[in-house]
Structure 1
Amino acid sequence: MTTVADARTDHLIGIMEMDDKLAKIRSQINSKLENQKKMALVLQTIDETLKQQNQNATPITYFVSFLTLLDQCCVENEIKDLPLATCALYFLDLVAPYAPTKLLKSKFSDILVRVAPTLTSDVADAPLIRSAIGFLESLLLAQDAKSWNNSGNFKISPKRALSALLDLSLDPRPKVRKRAQEAILNVLKKIPQGTSSKKHEHPASSYASEFALNNLITLLNENNIRLKSSKDDSNSQPKVIHNLQLITSITSSNAWPLKQITPLCDVLLEICKSADQYLISAAFGAFEGMFKSMTNEIDAAKFITVLDIIFDLKPAQNDPHLAPSWLAVIAKAVVSFSSNVNSLEILVKLPDIFKSVGTYFLSENSSIAESASQCLIAIVVDGIKDKDLLSPPDVDSKLYEQVNFVISQIAEITSDCLTVRYRSSAAFICELISTLFIKLRHRANPGFLNHLELIGNWRSNEQDGFELNEISEKVIASAISSIGPELVLQVLPLNLTDPKKVGRAWMLPILRENVQMASLGFYVENILPNVEFFQKKVENGDPNSVNTKIFATIIDQIWSLLPYFCFLPTDLQTAFTDEFAARISGLLYEEVQLRPVLCNALKNLVVTEKQRLNEEGDDIILNQQFPQAKAKEDLEYLSTTKATKLLSVLFNVYTQIPMDQRNYVAEAIEPYFNISTTEDMVSTFNKVCSLLRKALDDEIKEGSLTRDDASKPQPKNAVPKLSVTMMDLIVMMTKYIPSDSHNALLTIFNETVRIENSQIQKRSYRVISKLFEIENSDSQSIIMSLVSNIMQVFIETSPTTLPSARPQRLEALVKLIKLLPRDSLHYITGILSEVIDSTRSANEKTRTTSFTLLIEIGNKFKECTGEMIRNTLIDSDIPDSQATIQELFLMCCAAAGPEIPHQRSAAITALSCIFYEFHKELDISYQKELMQFVEVFLHQNNREVIKPTLGFMKVAILTLPEEEILPELKGLMTLFLAINNKHKNHFKSKIKHLIERMIRKFGFDVIDNCIPEEDKKIINGIRKAKNRASKKSTENTTASSSTTSSNKVGLSAYDRALYEDSDSDDSEEEVEEKPTKGKSKGAVQYISESRDIPLDLLDKKALSQISSSKSKKFNRKSIESSFKTRDGKLVIKESNDDDDDILANKDSLNAYVDAVRQGPVRGQKNKLKWKKQGASDNWDGDDDDDNKEVDSKSKNKRGGNNSKGKGGRITKSQPKFKARKKF
């Protein structure tokens, strides 16, 4: 119940909303748009009138005022002043929602009579009618059930107003029609006050639905009559679509009466037979509106009735028009019911739905069978909810059993679909079964194990050309990821070591791609022992034999499964024992080729558990099967019992391998740092620091740590120095050591950063970068207190930093500047010259990072605007200054002062960078001053200075406003062209590009007037190039369209007949291949059977013997006859190059490849070309015989396959010339 206080609050909120809307209109009094200005003037006049009459500006006074204004515009049911009437109705539409309901209810007849002329007048335009519709909507929303029922039989009633809206909802004007349909939706959606609780629908719903349905039927009948009389029906289809949109509005409001659902569904499904996609889309919209509107438990019975009606309208099995549409409607209906009403209720009905839809798998039309599959897949994916698939104790045992029964029924129905009877739809049915495995997950056991066995046997037959192999593997993959590899391998065992059983080595790659959250113990006990068996085979066999290589491949595939069995293993604490960890450790030392796999497995153990612990998703089944508490227990187990020992092993392996092979070991080490206890991390860190200290002392004594160490040629696979390795480990553990050890870390940085060795310096700066990435609050406070000291070290070590370590140093500075306190800005002065110099470095990474650092410095100055920069602490000769963005520009300008070309060039480059980034923070006058300052350097003779200066001028010209550049444009153009002439076109391309950009901004004519007469050729060249480019693009467009058309008609009927694929005559001596009989127009299917064992069509395995292609058997007799005479004598024929019949090769794959290689292809102008016998990559046409000699000569000149080197030796073709510079 709404209280008086709530009603008063709603009233006040409504008045505030209305005032806001009116205030917005008042602000448009000076608008350039005439209609907005007129609205504001009318409102101003009304406000003044109310003020003169001493009336308050309330919804009632506004309503009465605008209604009176509307009366003045209409005389004798005709509109005399259309613009004023439009304004009056616009304001009535705006004010009416806030007017008292009693007023709109009691004066309904009087108000409707006054509005009627605006709807019936011939001069009424769309804006007027839209406002009238909105006003009518507010009027109708205010009426109660008594008014709608019209018990007094009044001539003017709400239904009469609704009738007007219904007529307008079919109006040809789009905006009017849409507004009317929205109004109908809103009116019917709101149940009027006083309506009986038993009758949960609007009193006018029957009237509106009858109007829409009758009108639609009439339109369809008229349409059919036009079709029979062969008349144009193009005008009727839009009307049908408009009517369907009206029906969508009514169904979306949940106002369609139950008694009229049957005729509606019948008509909508009839429309779905149409080939017009717009009509079908509109019909689906009506269905969807009906389904989406029923969202409450109250609507369950109505929804079930709708579903029953739709199922009663089930079309014929082979109806290509209606069946796909009906299936799409079924999918939408079931999914809507499950999502909005009751998922469990629809789940119980799924077996009946599967039976009804499953009959379409017998259709002779493959598209209908595919639609049936897609329908059921949509129902499975979106209609079955995860909450109904949970197991006890999260759900009631009764519910669990009920769902189990439903799943078993679905399994039985789908199992019947895997018989020979459904052979033509087998691929679609397998897609459905794959989806069922993925959706049902653990609940697919045991109901779908028979499906898995049957489909697995299809794949195990390994019949060549069997088109279900791929989809069979997809089903098996879905089963592995859903019910786990343990159950799958029980049903389909690998049988790798038993030659008497069917081997399934082909399942190893499928397992690798789909295993997750499985039993690690199962892998250790049942799969891994196969390695020993095949290892013995490899050791005892010929290393060059095919079998030995196959055995080695199987070993690799078995080991490759380990990382995936370590992905959230369900039995980590029982399976990952000390014994197994010791075995892994031994293999890491002994088997070099297994190290990537083993490291990946160790990494997955921690990373997947950590992700599960930190990210609790919406997957409620996963939360039940693998709760976060289990992940936490597993990580604690690894942390307390395995982490330290495994880290020791990984450290030892890390120190033994070359630099370029360490990544996978480092990726395995870092996760164990993450889970190690604080005590273990401190102990490990201290040990590494001790080893680093000892290694540095030893290497310094030996003299191996020198400045030129990095430039020395390193032997291949050389192991780095121990000091470098220890620094790598410290970099990795920086983020994970406790804050108490940060002082020791900074001591290491302070010492190692001063060692003049690039490898050590790089890692030293990386330590600082990693340190600044720590997000722990305790660590952050300690780091912030040490920032000034760290910055001081950076300033001191600037001269000793080696060029190859400069990028890492600048990266650390980027992070350091972000944390720099407001009172330490003077340190920026100490590093700025280094940053500026780095912008002209030969190292690309150094240049890029220096630009990033400059931008960070600019942001820091913006953030700390007004703070004092105490430059005297760095250099007593530099006065203190205030932090502003202008101060940064001033510092860069000062760096351009010394007459050192490289330094000046770097300063101008830095200015270009920060000018582009921060020019919006500067006044226009300051920007012009900077431009004039840099322009001076254009007069210098040094090209190193001129090049970045031209870049700055381009940035400045393109960013400054046109009016600021135009007065200077002529002088700038003269200067640019003078530089071009002075330096002998050295800057020609750069200046040309600059002029092109200026032409884009100012136009051809402006730039042309600014160029001296003697240099006009440059702009003429630009103009000609642009014209040529546009002309070429036009020609290319025309040529492409003509080529397309010629391709369609270029082949003559003779050519098409000659090169069209034809059926081959295959031998049928050994295999009986019987085309299946049927009325289907699809591909012919063949049954492959042995003469000794006839095919049992009642056996489900028979499906694997039916294929769409003819299978071929190994022809023993033909090969024997090729090598033996009648009396058994062995005959070896000499090869004859002239007799090269490629089709005589019994290897069909090779024969096909050879045929493609030697067959004709079509080249330019549709000419046939054959491949030359002598070269694999050269093609020659049938009409180019005259050029063969020339081609062979040019080939020898180019250094082809037969080119001779010095002394007549055959040499390889020379590589093509490659430019040193990359563009």
Structure 2
Amino acid sequence: MKSASAAAAAAEEEEQLEEEQELDFPNEENTDLCERLLQRYKKSSASQHRHLCASAAAIRSILQEEQLPLTPPAYFAATISSIHDATATAGTLDPDSISALSSFLSILLPLVPPESLSSRKSTDAASVLAGLLHGRNDKLSAATVRSLVKSIGFLAPLCGGEDWGAVELPLKLLLEFSIDRRPKVRRCAQMCLEKAFKSFGSIVLKKASKLVLSMFQGYIPLASELSAIKIGHGSKNETLSSPKHVEVLHMLNALKLILPTLSEKVVSKLLSELYKLIGCHFSPLTRHSLNILQVVFESSRSEVLVSEAENIVASLISYVSLSDKNPIDTIISALSLLKCCLDKLHSADRSIWVKNLPPVFNLVAGFLNSDDYIAIQARDILKGMINHHFDRTIFLTSGNQLCDAAMNTSESTALESICTEFVNLLNACDSIPNEHTLAVISDLFLKLGDISQIFMKRIVRKLSELMVVGEDMPGMKHLQDCIGSAVIAMGPDNILSMIPISLHSEKSTCSNTWLIPILKKYVVGSSLEYFMEHIVPLAKSIQSASHKAKRAAMVRELQSCAHGLWNLLPAFCQYPIDTSQRFGPFANLLVVLLKDSFMHETIAAALQELVNQNRRIIRGNLYANEIQNLPISSESVAFPSHYSKKIASRNIKALASSSMDLIQALTGVFFNSPPEKRPHLKEAIGCLASITESSKVKDFFTSLEKFQVIDGVAESEKLEDDVPTSINSEQGGRTNKKERVDSRRCLIIDLASSLVEGADEDLINIIYDYIRPPLQATDGNCQSEAFYTLSRIFKEHAWFHSARFDELVDLLLGQKALVRNFSQRSRFTCLHILLVDLLKSDMEENNVKAFRILNEIILTLKDPKKEIRRAAYDTLLMISSSLKNLPSVDSDAPLHRLFSMIMGYLSGASPHIMSGAVAALSLLIYKDPSLCTSVPELMPTVLVLLQTKANEVIKAVLGFVKVLVSCLQAKELQKFLADIVNGVLPWSSVSKNHFRLKVRIIMEIVIRKCGSDSVELVMPEKYMAFFKSVVQQRHSKTSSKEADGSDPELKLADSSLKGARKRKRNESGRTSRGGNVSRAFDTSTREKKRRMNTKGNPVRGHESQSQKKARPFSDKKKRKGIHENPPSGGNRMNKGWKKDSKRHKSEAGAFSKSQKHGRARKLQQRVK
């Protein structure tokens, strides 16, 4: 027991001494270390602390006697002198004194400025410390030895980076203690050794490297013994109990740290011995040897490894070959080392590299079918090798043509061997290969590009066989992606030559139709000519065969195949290589194909693809969207290399030369298509118009306006004048003709919106003159199309609204009562652009115009129609976002101007306007809570409205406060805490309009964020009872959760976060979903409707027993057509419903009849 307690005490003392060495004192030149130690340990009763303070005091007394400054350099000199004097006289220093001095010195040295320690002083000091350790190593505690080693390690780099005689002694000591049996001493010595080697110059480093080599060679016999030991899974090795064997492991750990700094000659000699320590079986040295090899590969030049590269590869392959008997982590490390070795050989010696590439690659590929963990590691290693080692250019001539001579080289032989290995892997699979194997094959396809048609033909055929066999098997998506990579690499022409889609006339079937969706998804960089000469004839023949098929199933199958081939058109328009040469005939083909209605959307998509991709290249946004859309990594995509801005410009000219023919053909289709098909056609027309000469587009639009609309209107007016209005049938005929004319006008206005982007000033003015009458009309015909076209003009041509500013403002604001609901969003888009321009300007006369637009938006926020309110909310958000993203230096000024204008409505306005302004501020605060601090007058201005008596305003302000406390962080919320509490609490006693509930929710959020103590400090005494009830309610929720048996603190925090998120979504809007933000600020109308229904007809969950008995109808009757809350009819029907069910039925019937009559009257009025 005594020995155990003594050992524990000694261990505790060592821990305390180590803590003292890590003390952090300020590194000041005049620091009195002794004084600081005395202050820190003056109350400590530990013996090591008393010894430390006594030694420090003794050193200080020496300095004071000699009248030296009490600085770290002086303390250092005095300490070294004391140790030297004491060791000169044998036996005068006991272990406690040595421990105290060594601890004091290790604390002192980091405070000594390096410039005050010359090379000679450092060398002498290191010699003194080495003499102190000599012969006393086993007698001193680990903490004392660690302190001395740390001090020597500090001094070693200062002894002279170019003087081997000065460095030799401390370096030998550090090497000796780097394999010490005591862990903390050993780790300290190894860290000091690493720092010392990094500080040495080239001359010292060469001699130090030789010293390390001699030390390593001394342990080679022991290391060979250990490497020969076979360790099974989970078995213990008793050989490591030998101290000498353990020193081998410590030596390898130290070697790993300093190896990057050793000379190349020594590293080469070390390497020649290290790979021999890796046998076929796992041994105690395997992990250490692999780690050291990893350091060598990472830190050494390629030339260092060449001499032993083949031996290293052979050794690693032999170890990996017994993977079932060796630990998985070492197998993965060995595979990584093989890749690193090949990476080094690739640039150093290509003959050795190409010789070892196939065996290494095939060895790693063999692990793709292993468990997921090792298969993923093997996949990543192989992908790295493919990316680094495979280069298609070595098989091509300068003209990007295949070189026959390159097909007989060692590189081609190695590549064929690797592809053969993959064929064998696929043949060995009973079903679809796993995703890791297919991912590697995909990368190989993409890296080799078009030359994969030579080396990977058999792989393509095997993959196609798997597609046929494994139609319903799992992993089909990965197999399709792999074949898609082959399509990208080889091109559809080569793929279809290997896997042809063919028609069997006798059987009325098609083969390999599974390839069609893959081609649609992955074809890129093909040619228009191939589509016209191969895909079109094939699609026509299959379509013709479908008409001759006898069975319905065969007809459906053939038609599906034909339509699938036609739908390949957009894919073949992705960066075709012959646009400028073949677009003329291609455009003629498209005009013919437009006769088939099922081709309209496909042709529109193809034309958009052709135009947009070339325009993106010219603008510099090359391939951005395409890379995201393709389901493969962007690094591997082999897009057509010939595409450049010059080629794209040439393509645009070719497209423009045939664009008017296509525009006219598409316009005819557009006029005769149903509404759901028009958007695609309109986008295609817009793309073509944007690259067509503007004068041609203007003539085209003028012809439409002149011959299709004006003549139709004139005809309609003539009919109205000539035909008597008394005849109902003739009146209906005139009405139908008038509707057809209006319908044509609407179509042309809708078409005009697609011509806006590339139009010049003359065409824009013509379009505006054409859409202005519908914008001003009272009947609402073509209004939606006209407003949308106007919004497009606003977006694309800033000069337009600048030149006609006053006219446009009057137009947009003067027709508010006549604007239909579905036109409001386009109208607000125009108002958004106008208001942003006004706010960017500092001109005083623009304020009136800005207030007119803002007044319209704020009034609309209170509109009874939900969709119109939402449009206003979204517009306000867009205005805020546009102002915030301005590129100017003072970009916040326009946004603050908007805030100030909205805040102007908070004084002197009607309650309706004030509540709308508060709602607008709530939305902007939710979008950007930082505006509360950047606009300091915002909070006081809004909170003062709580003193008004208008319920509408109070409700809006409480909603504003709720948004504010939900969005602000606790630190920011603290600034407004007192104002918020004092502002909302007077309404905590008012239950009308749910004011009390709203205040309670606000207080709960504030308490959760700021803490009840902070809130209580600003809480007025008269509302303390209400505050305590809120706190008590929160505690009751917490206690109920504690009763569930889970951790109450964690659940409370989680529920608080969920509650905050829920309140933030439901009460403040959802900015992340765009237009949905406005829904959160749209609750007032829903609450009104709910309360109106509740007044005479309470909600089921809150009914009393008497009310339940008074309810005369069951849910079954209600489902048959009897409604508890009729849609109209007022209170009379509600009263009758409560008194007598028969009367309710009769009134409900009467109501339905009145509804029918009302609809009939409205219909007649419309006809008139």
| Smaller-chain TM-score bracket | 0.5 to 0.7
Q: Higher mean Cα deviation, 889-898 or 397-406?
A: 397-406
Partner of 1:110: 124
Deviations 1:818-877 (A, max 9, x none): 54333365242332222322333433532432432563697599979899xxxxxxxxxx
**Amino acid aligned to 1:934:** L
Task: Note if 1:290 corresponds to 2:300.
Answer: no
- Give the direction of change, closer, same or farther, for the CA distance of 1:852–1:300 in structure 2 (3 Å limit): same
8 Å Cα contact 1:261-1:306 kept in structure 2: no
**Amino acid aligned to 1:1025:** K
**Structure 1 residues 151-170: aligned runs within 5 Å:** 156-157=168-169, 159-160=171-172, 163=175, 166=178
**Structure 1 residues 25-174: aligned runs within 5 Å:** 38-40=26-28, 42=30, 67-72=73-78, 75-76=82-83, 78=98, 89-92=109-112, 96=114, 109-110=123-124, 112-113=126-127, 135=154, 138-139=157-158, 143-144=161-162, 147-148=163-164, 156-157=168-169, 159-160=171-172, 163=175, 166=178, 172=184
Distance 1:502 1:861 in 2: 58
Distance 1:409 1:859 in 2: 59
**Amino acid aligned to 2:802:** V
Distance 1:166 1:714 in 2: 101
Q: CA RMSD in A?
A: 5.8
Distance 1:815 1:788 in 2: 14
Distance 1:388 1:242 in 2: 48
**Amino acid aligned to 2:1005:** R
**Amino acid aligned to 2:537:** P
Distance 1:685 1:659 in 2: 25
Q: 1:502 Cα shift?
A: 9.4
Deviations 1:503-532 (A, max 9, x none): 322332333333222233233323332223
Distance 1:271 1:532 in 2: 65
Q: Higher mean Cα deviation, 736-745 or 405-414?
A: 736-745
Task: Note if 1:978 corresponds to 2:993.
Answer: no
**Structure 1 residues 140-219: aligned runs within 5 Å:** 143-144=161-162, 147-148=163-164, 156-157=168-169, 159-160=171-172, 163=175, 166=178, 172=184, 180=192, 183=195, 186-187=198-199, 192=202, 203=210, 206=213
8 Å Cα contact 1:373-1:432 kept in structure 2: no
Partner of 1:829: 851
Task: Note if 1:905 corresponds to 2:920.
Answer: no
Partner of 2:486: 479
Give secondary structure in 2 for the equivalent of 1:530: helix
**Amino acid aligned to 1:839:** L
8 Å Cα contact 1:516-1:567 kept in structure 2: yes
Deviations 1:381-432 (A, max 9, x none): 2332547557221799999727865234432454377469973699477765
Distance 1:433 1:864 in 2: 52
Q: 1:950 Cα shift?
A: 0.6
Distance 1:564 1:137 in 2: 69
**Amino acid aligned to 1:684:** V
- Give the direction of change, closer, same or farther, for the CA distance of 1:217–1:991 in structure 2 (3 Å limit): farther
Distance 1:1038 1:376 in 2: 42
Partner of 1:688: 701
Q: 2:1040 aligns with which of 1007, 1020, 1028?
A: 1028
Task: Note if 1:632 corresponds to 2:648.
Answer: yes
Distance 1:564 1:307 in 2: 49
**Amino acid aligned to 2:611:** V
Distance 1:117 1:301 in 2: 45
Q: Higher mean Cα deviation, 439-448 or 740-749?
A: 740-749
Task: Note if 1:794 corresponds to 2:809.
Answer: yes
8 Å Cα contact 1:357-1:372 kept in structure 2: no
Give secondary structure in 1 for the equivalent of 2:813: coil
Deviations 1:1169-1222 (A, max 9, x none): xxxxxxxxxxxxxxxxxxxxxxxxxxxx999xxx9999xxxxxxxxxxxxxxxx
Q: 2:309 aligns with which of 285, 304, 307?
A: 304
Q: 1:615 Cα shift?
A: 4.9
Distance 1:491 1:186 in 2: 60
Task: Note if 1:657 corresponds to 2:665.
Answer: no
**Structure 1 residues 1179-1190: aligned runs within 5 Å:** none
Distance 1:314 1:425 in 2: 29
Distance 1:855 1:526 in 2: 54
8 Å Cα contact 1:216-1:244 kept in structure 2: no
Task: Note if 1:374 corresponds to 2:379.
Answer: yes
Partner of 2:357: 353
Q: 1:670 Cα shift?
A: 3.8
Task: Note if 1:601 corresponds to 2:613.
Answer: no
Deviations 1:204-236 (A, max 9, x none): 563686699899889999997995578999x99
- Give the direction of change, closer, same or farther, for the CA distance of 1:118–1:444 in structure 2 (3 Å limit): farther
Deviations 1:471-521 (A, max 9, x none): 776654433221122222222322323559993223323333332222332
**Structure 1 residues 1061-1072: aligned runs within 5 Å:** none
Give secondary structure in 1 for the equivalent of 2:574: coil
Task: Note if 1:533 corresponds to 2:547.
Answer: no
Partner of 2:825: 807
Give secondary structure in 2 for the equivalent of 1:837: helix
Distance 2:351 2:762 in 1: 59
8 Å Cα contact 1:810-1:849 kept in structure 2: no
Give secondary structure in 1 for the equivalent of 2:26: helix
8 Å Cα contact 2:573-2:606 kept in structure 1: yes
Give secondary structure in 2 for the equivalent of 1:529: helix
Task: Note if 1:731 corresponds to 2:753.
Answer: yes
Q: 1:435 Cα shift?
A: 4.0
Task: Note if 1:666 corresponds to 2:691.
Answer: no
- Give the direction of change, closer, same or farther, for the CA distance of 1:741–1:167 in structure 2 (3 Å limit): farther
Partner of 1:551: 558
Partner of 2:268: 258
Give secondary structure in 2 for the equivalent of 1:159: helix
Q: Higher mean Cα deviation, 853-862 or 607-616?
A: 853-862
- Give the direction of change, closer, same or farther, for the CA distance of 1:397–1:293 in structure 2 (3 Å limit): farther
TM-score for the superposition, normalised by structure 1:
0.63
Distance 1:107 1:568 in 2: 74
Q: 1:772 Cα shift?
A: 6.3
Distance 2:851 2:889 in 1: 15
- Give the direction of change, closer, same or farther, for the CA distance of 1:469–1:412 in structure 2 (3 Å limit): farther
8 Å Cα contact 1:205-1:257 kept in structure 2: no
Q: 2:660 aligns with which of 644, 666, 686?
A: 644
Deviations 1:1009-1046 (A, max 9, x none): 7645489655543432343245447289999xxxxxxx
- Give the direction of change, closer, same or farther, for the CA distance of 1:737–1:91 in structure 2 (3 Å limit): farther
Deviations 1:907-937 (A, max 9, x none): 2223434566476675897456325422213
8 Å Cα contact 1:185-1:253 kept in structure 2: yes
Q: 1:1000 Cα shift?
A: 1.2
Partner of 2:522: 514
Distance 1:237 1:747 in 2: 97
Q: 1:948 Cα shift?
A: 0.9
- Give the direction of change, closer, same or farther, for the CA distance of 1:566–1:132 in structure 2 (3 Å limit): farther
Distance 1:169 1:693 in 2: 101
Q: 1:76 Cα shift?
A: 1.1
Give secondary structure in 1 for the equivalent of 2:269: helix
Give secondary structure in 2 for the equivalent of 1:321: coil
Partner of 1:996: 1004
Distance 1:652 1:770 in 2: 23
**Structure 1 residues 803-952: aligned runs within 5 Å:** 803-819=821-837, 820-823=840-843, 825-826=846-847, 827-841=849-863, 842-843=866-867, 844-852=869-877, 855=880, 891-897=901-907, 900-913=910-923, 917=928, 926=937, 929-937=940-948, 939-940=949-950, 942=951, 944-952=952-960
Q: 2:500 aligns with which of 467, 484, 493?
A: 493
- Give the direction of change, closer, same or farther, for the CA distance of 1:529–1:115 in structure 2 (3 Å limit): farther
- Structure with more relative contact order (C-alpha pairs < 8 Å, separation 6 or more): 1
8 Å Cα contact 1:442-1:483 kept in structure 2: yes
Deviations 1:1054-1074 (A, max 9, x none): xxxxxxxxxxxxxxxxxxxxx
Distance 2:131 2:740 in 1: 96
- Give the direction of change, closer, same or farther, for the CA distance of 1:397–1:509 in structure 2 (3 Å limit): closer
